Amino acid sequence: MSSKIIRDPLYDYISIDRDRDPWLLELLDTPEVQRLRRIHQLGISYLTYPGADHNRLAHSLGVVHLTQQAFEHLARISSDDPRIRQGRAAVLASAMIHDVGHGPFSHLFEPCLGADHEVWSRAIILSEESAVSQVLTRHFGSDFPRQIASLIDPNNHDQPAWQKYLLSSQLDMDRLDYLRRDSLFTGAGYGHYDWFRLLNTFQLYEDDDSGWDIVWSEKSLLAIEEYIYSRYYMYQNVYLHKTTRGFEKMLEAMWRRAREFHDGGVDVGLLPAIRAFWDAQSRSPRGDGRGEATVRQYLAIEEFTVMSQIQAWQGHADRALSDLARRFLERRRFAMIEAPSFDDPFAPDFEGWEAALLELVGDWVGPGVPAEMYCLRDQLNARYSQSYFPEKESDEQSGKNAIRVLVEGEPKPVEVSRLRPRLQPLTQGLTDRVRYYLPRELKENALRLRDEWSRNGRSAKTLGSLRPTRLG
Amino acid sequence: MTRYQLAKVVDWAGTLDTRKRMQKVIYLLQIAGCPLEIEYTLHFYGPYSQEVARLTDDLVRAQVLVERAESNLVGQQFSYQLADEARRHFAEFELTPRGKAAANVLTPFEPLARQLFQVDLKDLEYASTVVFFRTQGYDWPMAIAKMCDFKRLTRGHQVVEQAEATARQVVA
């Protein structure tokens, strides 16, 4: 047996068997997978954590490594059930290419380009032009790319549930890798848990209705608890860090401005790759946002393309575009303020408050620049910012929306926070949270306006008379 | 979806039994044209929205809804009512211009919601799953076939026919 050995800071060695899985090495060597080397796993978190320079390829290999181990465990506990053997290649392939559709800077740049990485992942896998698709077809037949695309599609259930849950659920191979990897590279020091135990104690639960589901044994309880707390700390300290979020919103505002100009026929000096993508995307728009853009056009946009574009905008005639480009490259951040507290339990008056805040900012930016460019709203969707949110009604639970544990004497697996009530403060639903980023010169007045608004709502006075020096 | 909209659906029901019914009724109302702007994904037990689940818990914490839990053979189930104090605020809010505007958007969907509250829970699950496949572009026969494969049901069975009838009623 000969293996390809890859050094990895988390697992020491990642090994791929050349005799058993030669196709996996071919997949690794495709241009689409190699491109993942040039995508930051944590977007622009390096502006907060200088060490966060790790990339999507290392993460994808980590997910492959954990998936290999998960299948060894599955083979043991299922007495080498043929369903496990038959499912192995599909899940391993998905592990390797689940992120292949990510664009520059991972998630954060999606609104800037108007692209959804899941849509593009499926498009790349299904495109006959892609090397990824050709490798999969050559080794497993022409239907195999469709199987992989359906495995990573959250709304497609053509493939068995247990395969999908290994890749995407509340406790999956993807999360098991990225939490520890992100912790290591940021140096944040959180994100530690007994991953080995989690990987070697899950069970296959035969549900009468849905076939196999992934559950854990009671001896995993502490490790699950540790994992949920790790996620919580990572969200608080890394993923939702206010500095990172502020620069993300700045990027969005900058690119939204450029797109509006471009769509309106104003020249913003777009680089050819970005121009070609946006033009094709705008033609005959489709529901999934791809328009007529091809896989080749999408893959041509790299992080260095984006950075070159921002660099070019520093000298652009539009005051706001050039100013935000310079601020981003020089890492000059905006100040953050939280939204006011609203008394109304049914319909918090964000519209009224934001109109008042925009008036304050508008006085500062002056004519010709939309105030929205300097008053950046950040809605932290609870869905993406909570470490673990289980569905609590048993009849609606699956591996997708709950981590469940087999308990002696219970007829069905039990959701973990019912067994560990101390998890409940973390698991009970958070609501969306709204923050605003604006120039530091405006922070003090914005805070005063917020206090006034919290006390008096729409009858609050605006503070337009308190004008600091204007922009530019 | 706003807090007001979810509270209004519960108010129509009086007592809304089970989170599952909450999920499926709101999904079907949205499909029928009610502008709730909620993202649903397909789970094994039908279309499911984490946003609806969160908002429900949020309203319980805000003491707008009263939650009751019951343990039975299925496991834990929950039911919801509008809290007495919240009902007073609710009425006051609906007298304001913003409240009136919000109520006007929902009112046309009240008869459908009331009908769906009476539908058997399994029927709701199957019907909303058929509708989900319809939204993915499958025609009626294919959507029903997909639902049967997914839920391990036999085509032509009474529950399948009932689910189709409910689904067609909503989509119409």
Average pLDDT rounded to a whole number, residues A450-461 = 74
B74 pLDDT exceeds 80?
no
Average pLDDT rounded to a whole number, residues A440-461 = 83
B88 pLDDT band, cuts 50/70/90, is confident
Report pLDDT for B118: 94
Average pLDDT rounded to a whole number, residues A343-351 = 74
Please name the residue of chain A whose CA is at the shortest distance from the CA of residue B90: A346
Q: Which of A42-56, A222-236, B86-100 has the lowest mean pLDDT?
A: B86-100
Average pLDDT rounded to a whole number, residues A295-300 = 95
- Asked if A157 has any chain B CB less than 8 Å from its own CB, the reply is yes
pLDDT digits (tens, 9 = 90+) for A148-161: 999 999 889 889 99
The dihedral of CA A189, A190, A191, A195: what is its sign?
positive
Among A169, A351, A386, A396, the strongest candidate for a mutation testing the B interface, having the largest count of B CBs within 10 A, is A396
Average pLDDT rounded to a whole number, residues B78-98 = 90
Report pLDDT for A80: 81
- Asked if B159 has any chain A CB less than 8 Å from its own CB, the reply is no
User: Do the Cβ atoms of A347 and B51 come within 8 Å?
Assistant: no
A124 pLDDT exceeds 60?
yes
A396 pLDDT exceeds 90?
no
A114 pLDDT band, cuts 50/70/90, is confident
A465 pLDDT exceeds 50?
no
A45 pLDDT exceeds 80?
yes
CA B152 to chain A, closest CA, distance in angstroms equals: 7
Average pLDDT rounded to a whole number, residues B18-39 = 95
- Asked if B145 has any chain A CB less than 8 Å from its own CB, the reply is no
- Asked if A347 has any chain B CB less than 8 Å from its own CB, the reply is yes
CA A393 to chain B, closest CA, distance in angstroms equals: 5
Q: Average model confidence (pLDDT) for chain A?
A: 90
A285 pLDDT exceeds 60?
yes
- Asked if B29 has any chain A CB less than 8 Å from its own CB, the reply is no
pLDDT digits (tens, 9 = 90+) for B147-169: 999 888 888 888 999 999 999 98
CA A347 to chain B, closest CA, distance in angstroms equals: 6
Among B9, B25, B39, B76, the strongest candidate for a mutation testing the A interface, having the largest count of A CBs within 10 A, is B76
A132 pLDDT exceeds 90?
yes
User: Do the Cβ atoms of A400 and B43 come within 8 Å?
Assistant: yes
Phi, then psi, of A369 in degrees rounded to 5 = -125, 125
**Of A154, A344, A391, which is closest to B53 when you measure between CB atoms?**
A391
Q: Average model confidence (pLDDT) for chain B?
A: 92
Q: Which of A50-54, A286-290, B92-96 has the lowest mean pLDDT?
A: A286-290
Report pLDDT for A471: 56
- Asked if B18 has any chain A CB less than 8 Å from its own CB, the reply is yes
Residues of chain B with Cβ-Cβ distance to A344 below 8 Å are: 93
User: Do the Cβ atoms of B98 and A347 come within 8 Å?
Assistant: yes
Report pLDDT for A201: 94
Report pLDDT for A458: 63
pLDDT digits (tens, 9 = 90+) for A10-43: 999 999 999 999 999 999 999 999 999 999 999 9
**Of B51, B55, B150, which is closest to A157 when you measure between CB atoms?**
B150
- Asked if B76 has any chain A CB less than 8 Å from its own CB, the reply is yes
CA A49 to chain B, closest CA, distance in angstroms equals: 31
A81 pLDDT band, cuts 50/70/90, is confident
> What percent of chain B shows pLDDT beyond 90?
70
Q: Which of A57-66, B67-76, B124-133 has the lowest mean pLDDT?
A: B67-76
> What percent of chain A shows pLDDT beyond 90?
71
A363 pLDDT exceeds 60?
yes
A343 pLDDT band, cuts 50/70/90, is low
A198 pLDDT exceeds 90?
yes
- Asked if B53 has any chain A CB less than 8 Å from its own CB, the reply is yes
A466 pLDDT exceeds 50?
no
- Asked if A429 has any chain B CB less than 8 Å from its own CB, the reply is yes
A468 pLDDT exceeds 60?
no
Report pLDDT for A174: 96
Average pLDDT rounded to a whole number, residues A63-91 = 94
Report pLDDT for A208: 66
Report pLDDT for A425: 84
Residues of chain B with Cβ-Cβ distance to A209 below 8 Å are: 44, 151-152
Report pLDDT for A464: 45
CB pairs under 8 A between A and B: 99
Question: Topology of domain B1-117, per CATH?
Answer: Arc Repressor Mutant, subunit A (1.10.10)
Domain positions in chain B are 1-117, 119-172
User: Do the Cβ atoms of A395 and B99 come within 8 Å?
Assistant: no
- Asked if B72 has any chain A CB less than 8 Å from its own CB, the reply is no
Report pLDDT for A461: 53
